[in-house]
Structure 1
């Protein structure tokens, strides 16, 4: 039997057939669950660093204008009258809630990024900033279904100043009361406003990617330091742009679920403007801005560290 044609020497005037290399094996897919695990660690970190600032922010956003002169006065009144532990009022829902929210947010973000790279930006070597930004919007909308009831319970507990204003004994009592008053709709009052607020993740994750790549190419910072600084700065951009929508969201979330003042998002926005003017949309911004950098910088640095560990 003659040997295969590919192995016979080429005759004069013929082009020798060169065997093709074996096909490349597909890249090993990234761990689709890594982001969910890393997000848990991010949520815990964010709580301990950021919750006191969040309490001051929420009180300034929702209290009568004459109650506090500013963030420092709010901090002093809170600690003087209620003790330092009052800064962590409503911390139980976020402790569990931010673990759940960051797990869902960052886990879904990780998967949306992979889907973007596989189906939209297929010809790009790396996912471009716009891909990260769009993934951020989808992750924001996804986590809103977890965040809305958690943030509502947290906000209602944070604005209980004393025995006279105390309606709920704790997060479970608050959640049960809301459910009894209005069913599942009571717990999810403010879902639409939560989705509007989290649509600004477009700017958070787009700017985070840009800053991360810039720092890698132009600085000698360690990877952890780059994650920290990029996380903190991108969070500042996010909060500066998203803050007015957060004020509206908080206003809706502490509204009565049985006889609500605000039937639509725009009604709450008009109320903020009519009672406080344009400044009302930025009331409480200082503690929020101060909180944004350390809380998000440390949380994202932790997220990236766990992701690298699980790679």
Structure 2
């Protein structure tokens, strides 16, 4: 009995998510440290990396990896599952009208839907990961202890802190992400007159790298705001920021527009590798599962 299409989407998305975490985690911890450090604390990316190695050791680059490995597989599987569902839905409607393929608006809409669905899980997971990445000592003994402490000190809703910018980033960002990837893939399929199953891994890698870069150029300032909210004090009485607008005002007043792109260098270096790996793993798993 063949596997249902939705099951294939979820399994392939999980493979992509695992590849994403393993490749991207060292880049991500540098990004978060640079984003949220006081102005002038680090002289640059190299200085941040040097501080981490000197003060915490090389394994610190994988701080907070447990939660992403558990959760990002789920996040990306939901993301890809929803996107694939809407792509099929739009494709069927287009076929009924005598049209082939998907429009750019449909691809963007499918990505937005996948991003919003994903954000419900991504928000808490990223909150815990950022807490683990930015702690200097061992106050948080692991991801589950982090969840326990956040819930105990700020209520269950505290785990979802930063959800506003998370939904905005994921929705618009994934719309741009999947639109860029699918546009480039379709151009390759049309130019070489090949099927999706014949798509070279190099094309998946390059299209994924391009999609990831465009994604972060589009949503990075939103991610900075989210990081500030999620590294603020766990105890509500000690927080500096009540809302995203407070963060925006603080960043602009303290650093100007440049503050909204602090830490973008490791992100842009990271994006091609992480997203290339994500789509290579996804497409490879989809090809494998198509035989089942």
TM-score (norm 1): 0.85
Partner residue, 1:292 = 271
Q: Counterparts of 2:162 and 2:94 in 1: how far apart (Å)?
A: 32
Deviation at 1:116, TM superposition (A): 2.5
Partner residue, 2:173 = 200
Partner residue, 1:261 = 240
| Contact in 2 for aligned 1:243/1:285 (Cα 8 Å) | yes
Q: The residue matched to 1:126 in structure 2 has which SS?
A: coil
The reply on whether 1:215 has 2:188 as its aligned counterpart is: yes
Partner residue, 1:23 = none
Please, which runs of 5 or more residues in structure 1 have no aligned partner?
1-27
Q: Counterparts of 2:199 and 2:286 in 1: how far apart (Å)?
A: 16
Displaced runs of 4+ in structure 1, greater than 3 A? 118-122, 217-222
Identify the match of residue 206 of structure 2 among 207, 211, 229: 229
Deviation at 1:182, TM superposition (A): 2.5
Identify the match of residue 125 of structure 1 among 82, 100, 104: 100
Deviation at 1:203, TM superposition (A): 1.1
Identify the match of residue 218 of structure 2 among 229, 236, 241: 241
Partner residue, 1:170 = 142
Deviation at 1:218, TM superposition (A): 3.7
| Contact in 2 for aligned 1:197/1:249 (Cα 8 Å) | no
Deviation at 1:30, TM superposition (A): 6.9
Q: Counterparts of 2:276 and 2:122 in 1: how far apart (Å)?
A: 20
Q: Deviations over 1:119-145 (max 9, x none)?
A: 477432112232111100011000000
Q: Counterparts of 1:142 and 1:264 in 2: how far apart (Å)?
A: 22
Q: Counterparts of 1:114 and 1:267 in 2: how far apart (Å)?
A: 41
Q: Cα gap change, 1:287/1:115 in structure 2, threshold over 3 Å: closer, same or farther?
A: same
Q: Counterparts of 2:84 and 2:50 in 1: how far apart (Å)?
A: 41
Q: Which has the larger radius of gyration?
A: 1
Partner residue, 2:262 = 283
Q: Cα gap change, 1:219/1:116 in structure 2, threshold over 3 Å: closer, same or farther?
A: closer
Q: Counterparts of 2:96 and 2:56 in 1: how far apart (Å)?
A: 56
Deviation at 1:229, TM superposition (A): 0.6
Q: The residue matched to 1:177 in structure 2 has which SS?
A: helix
Q: The residue matched to 1:33 in structure 2 has which SS?
A: helix
Partner residue, 1:143 = 118
Please, which runs of 5 or more residues in structure 2 have no aligned partner?
none
Q: Deviations over 1:99-154 (max 9, x none)?
A: 11111111111112222233477432112232111100011000000011100000
Q: Counterparts of 1:104 and 1:115 in 2: how far apart (Å)?
A: 16
Q: Which has the higher helix share?
A: 2
Q: The residue matched to 1:64 in structure 2 has which SS?
A: coil
Partner residue, 1:88 = 62
The reply on whether 1:103 has 2:77 as its aligned counterpart is: yes
Identify the match of residue 36 of structure 2 among 56, 62, 84: 62
Deviation at 1:211, TM superposition (A): 0.9
- Count of residues in Structure 1 that have an aligned counterpart in Structure 2: 281
Q: Counterparts of 1:120 and 1:188 in 2: how far apart (Å)?
A: 38
TM-score (norm 2): 0.90
Deviation at 1:29, TM superposition (A): 11
Identify the match of residue 13 of structure 2 among 36, 39, 45: 39
